[in-house]
Amino acid sequence: MTDCNKRNQEAPDEALLAKYEQLKTMLAGYQSVAVAFSGGVDSTFLLYAAKEALHDRVIAVTASSGSFPQREQTEANDYCRAISVRQFVLSVDEMSIEGFAENTKDRCYLCKKHLFEQFISLAGEQNIQVILEGSNADDENDYRPGMRAIAELGIQSPLRSLRFTKRQIRILSQYLGLPTWSKPSFACLATRVPYGVTITHEMLGQIERAEQLLMDLGFHQMRVRHHGEIARIEIPVEEFAHMCEPQIRSVVYEQLQSYGFSYVALDLKGYRTGSMNETLDL
């Protein structure tokens, strides 16, 4: 059982339920909304709340790109169908965004600005009043330049505004029966590449295949960081024993070599979000 499962086998208390009602009241105050929807824990929770509050006055907008694994795209599409929300999928070529492939520390800002400008254009075509995105209060604890783009473009972040934490979102998601309540946290595949190293489609493909392999082998929360010939695997410390089982270790090593990595390393600090930011002088 993952840590997520252990932490969230609990019912929301009255204060948290009241907070959820506050969220729905806020959303009901909008004439119509477009939710930036990735299919992750936060955006799924936000889309569900928006659907409850606004019914057919909500749409989902999903970006399809090389930084977004096909697995995530399929899950996002399936969920929109399941709750009968109109979904618009925009194809985005991140490599065409000036500065993205160069992978500066402002890469996320450049990408988010480009992406949400496309969302704004679509919302206008669909006569949608407000665009929402799903960042939460915990996201303020890491370096996230994309938030600057969100603020500049006037995108609303209701979960962050109401100070929802990831843990609270998971608890409410389980209570509401959402399939993502215990889903591992995910981030753009470009975050697996060290700043200053040029990003290529080939790199993103290697990362996607490597992380899908680990998921298929039973690892839940993980990252495969791309350091040229070296794949640096981050998994929770409690899953080290599973990785070191002879058969698992052999499969991981051989498959990642077949994906183009010469060396495969296990990060002894274990999984953590934003490890590439540890080298930044902020």
Residues labelled catalytic: 188
Please state, in angstroms and as integers, the Cα–Cα distance from residue 29 to each residue in 75, 176, 217, following that order: 29, 22, 45
**Can you tell me the distance from the alpha carbon of 127 to that of 136, in angstroms, rounded to the nearest whole number?**
27
Collapsing DSSP to helix, strand or coil, 188 comes out as coil
User: At 226, is the secondary structure helix, strand, or coil?
Assistant: strand
Virtual torsion, Cα 114, 169, 276, 69, nearest 10 deg: -60
Q: 134 and 49 in contact (C-beta within 8 Å)?
A: no
What Cα–Cα distance (Å) separates residue 243 from each residue in 17, 127, 209, 261, 271?
39, 50, 17, 18, 13
Helix, strand and coil content of the chain, in percent to the nearest 5, comes to 50, 10, 35
Type and span of the H or E element at 26 = helix 14-28
199/100 Cα distance (integer angstroms): 8
How far is the C-alpha of 135 from the C-alpha of 147, rounded, in Å? 9
Strand partners, 61: 36, 88
